[in-house]
């Protein structure tokens, strides 16, 4: 159905935005992947409950992808993060780019590599000549980054990978609670200062400041876990934290579209209390919810009926008759 559709044309200046994420669905034992089923079959340390660090191994990961168009919206760091002490004056923050012609797809049966390939298929359908700017929004997972880089390389597509700012902020907050007491209001301004450094494209400086602050506080190793994790995250993903370029070019810097899709495609239906899914049922429901979310259900259903008619009655056209009584 989607392979035969012609996407709405856009100007060369419009962005092509690709994003992907995964979310687990609780499955019946027979529907788990082999590695998960093997882990689930192992006996736990305790007979009646899980011990610390153990997982029930009941979920199979579903991969969701989205592709959408967006008009660039130039911003500055203070349009995203308020300066320490809060905003002053009457200037309203500039809004970010809006998602247009959004397309969603998801599968619990296919591997993430297949779904990322499907997302690039949709992106190429919108921009066959690779004339537009392609922005790929991710949460920073290494496996996901490897698949995206490999797919872009196969297609010789120039992409700009941007890590979701919200994930970066969560790591900075972990560092803040390493250096501040719980509920300390000063932590908010401390986070704002580090976040603004990242937004101007200087994540290395933010990392150095966090390291220096932890060293000055002479914290033991057991209390500096959050700060160390933040420093490792910033240093390892430095090349994908060029928010100065992203803001100047008007690119999106957050994965709200795909995060919202994980909620309303999976969590709101497939993650209800007590649900245990088979593979065929979960795949069908997820696919159907994606088509409905795209606003294509009525058109798809007519396509489905026509194909079903051709399957049952090859070579004959489906008649369309009005009721006479």
Q: Give the 3-state secondary structure of residue 104.
A: strand
- Sheet strands (E) in the chain: 15-26, 59-70, 100-107, 134-138, 159-163
Tell me the CA distances in angstroms from 261 to 63, 98, 283, 288, one per residue in order.
11, 16, 15, 13
Q: What backbone torsions phi and psi does residue 100 show, to the nearest 5 degrees?
A: -125, 150
Same domain for 259 and 217: no
CA R_g for the chain: 24
Q: Which residues contact 22 (CB under 8 A, 6 or more apart)?
A: 61, 62, 63, 64, 112, 144
Number of neighbours of residue 178 by Cβ within 10 angstroms: 20
Q: Are 96 and 288 in contact (CB under 8 A)?
A: no
In a domain, 1, yes or no: no
In a domain, 107, yes or no: yes
Nearest to 214 by CA among 186, 189, 187, 179: 179
For residues 230 and 203, is the Cβ–Cβ distance under 8 A? no
Give pLDDT tens digits for 74-115: 999 999 998 888 887 778 899 999 999 999 999 999 999 999
For residue 38, is it within any domain? no
Q: Each residue of 184-222: pLDDT tens digit?
A: 999 999 999 999 999 999 999 999 999 999 999 988 888
173 and 282 together in one domain: no
CA 175 remoteness from chain centre: 23
Q: What is the pLDDT of residue 52?
A: 78
Q: Is residue 22 a contact partner of residue 62, using CB atoms and an 8 Å limit?
A: yes
pLDDT at 321 over 70: no
Instruction: Between 181 and 91, name the one with better pLDDT.
Output: 181
Rounded Cα–Cα distance for residues 217 and 259 (Å): 36
Q: Please state, in angstroms and rounded to a whole number, the distance separating the CA atoms of residues 147 and 63.
A: 13
Count the neighbouring beta carbons within 10 Å of the beta carbon of residue 292: 14
Let me know whether 211 and 262 are in one domain.
no
Same domain flag for 222 and 288: no
pLDDT band at residue 280 under the 50/70/90 scheme: very high
158 plus 69 within the same structural domain: yes
Angstrom CA distances, 315 to 4, 128, 302, 307, stand at 20, 34, 18, 11
Question: In the prediction, which pLDDT does 285 show?
Answer: 96
Q: Are residues 139 and 227 in the same domain?
A: no
Residues 160 and 171 in one domain: no
Residue 126: in which H helix or E strand, if any? helix 112-126
Q: For the chain, give the mean pLDDT.
A: 92
Pairing of strands 159-163, 134-138: parallel
Residue 181: domain span: 167-238
- For residue 39, tell me if it sits in a domain: no
Same domain, 68 and 198: no
10 found inside a domain: no
Q: Using a cut of 0.85, tell me whether the model's pTM lies above it.
A: yes
If asked whether residues 156 and 180 sit together in one domain, one would say no
φ, ψ of residue 161 in degrees (nearest 5): -90, 130
174 shares a domain with 114 = no
65 and 24: one domain? yes
DSSP assigned state of 277: B
Domain identity same for 75 and 112: yes
Token pair 């090349």: residue? 239
Percent above pLDDT 70 for the chain: 97
- Per-residue confidence band for 258, with pLDDT thresholds at 50, 70 and 90: very high
Spatial distance between the Cα atoms of 60 and 322, rounded to a whole number of angstroms: 46
Q: What domain count does the chain have?
A: 2
Last residue of a domain, one of 214, 238, 262: 238
DSSP letters for 5-68: PPPPP--TTSEEEEEEEEEEEEB-GGGS-HHHHHHHHS--SSSSS--TT-----EEEEEEEEEE
**Residue 198 exposure: Cα atoms within 13 Å on the Cβ side:** 33
């Amino acid at each position: 159905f989607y392979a035969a559709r012609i996407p709405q044309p856009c100007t060369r200046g419009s962005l092509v935005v690709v994003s992907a994420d995964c979310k687990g669905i609780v499955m019946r034992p027979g529907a788990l992947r082999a590695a998960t089923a093997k882990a689930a079959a192992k006996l736990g340390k305790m007979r009646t409950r899980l011990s610390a660090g153990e997982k029930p191994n009941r979920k199979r990961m579903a991969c969701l992808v989205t592709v959408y168009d967006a008009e660039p919206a130039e911003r500055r760091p203070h349009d995203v993060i308020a300066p320490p002490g809060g905003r002053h004056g009457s200037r309203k923050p500039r809004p970010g780019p809006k998602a247009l012609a959004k397309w969603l797809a998801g599968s619990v049966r296919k591997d993430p590599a297949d779904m990322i390939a499907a997302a690039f298929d949709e992106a190429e359908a919108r921009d066959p000549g690779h004339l537009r700017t392609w922005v790929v929004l991710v949460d920073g997972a290494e496996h996901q980054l490897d698949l995206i880089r490999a797919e872009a390389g196969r297609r010789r597509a120039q992409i700009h990978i941007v890590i979701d700012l919200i994930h970066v902020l969560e790591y900075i907050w972990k560092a803040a609670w390493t250096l501040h007491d719980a509920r300390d209001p000063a932590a908010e301004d401390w986070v704002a200062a580090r976040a603004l450094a990242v937004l101007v494209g200087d994540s290395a400086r933010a990392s150095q400041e966090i390291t220096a602050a932890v060293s000055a506080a002479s914290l033991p190793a057991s209390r500096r876990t959050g700060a160390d994790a933040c420093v490792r995250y910033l240093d390892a993903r430095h090349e994908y934290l060029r928010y100065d370029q992203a803001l100047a070019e008007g690119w999106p810097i957050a994965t709200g579209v795909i995060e919202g899709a994980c909620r309303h495609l999976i969590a709101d239906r497939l993650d209800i209390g007590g649900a245990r899914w088979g593979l065929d049922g979960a795949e069908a429901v997820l696919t159907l919810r994606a088509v409905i979310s795209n606003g294509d259900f009525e058109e798809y259903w007519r396509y489905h009926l026509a194909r079903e008619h051709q399957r049952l009655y090859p070579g004959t056209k489906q008649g369309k008759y009005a009721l006479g009584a």
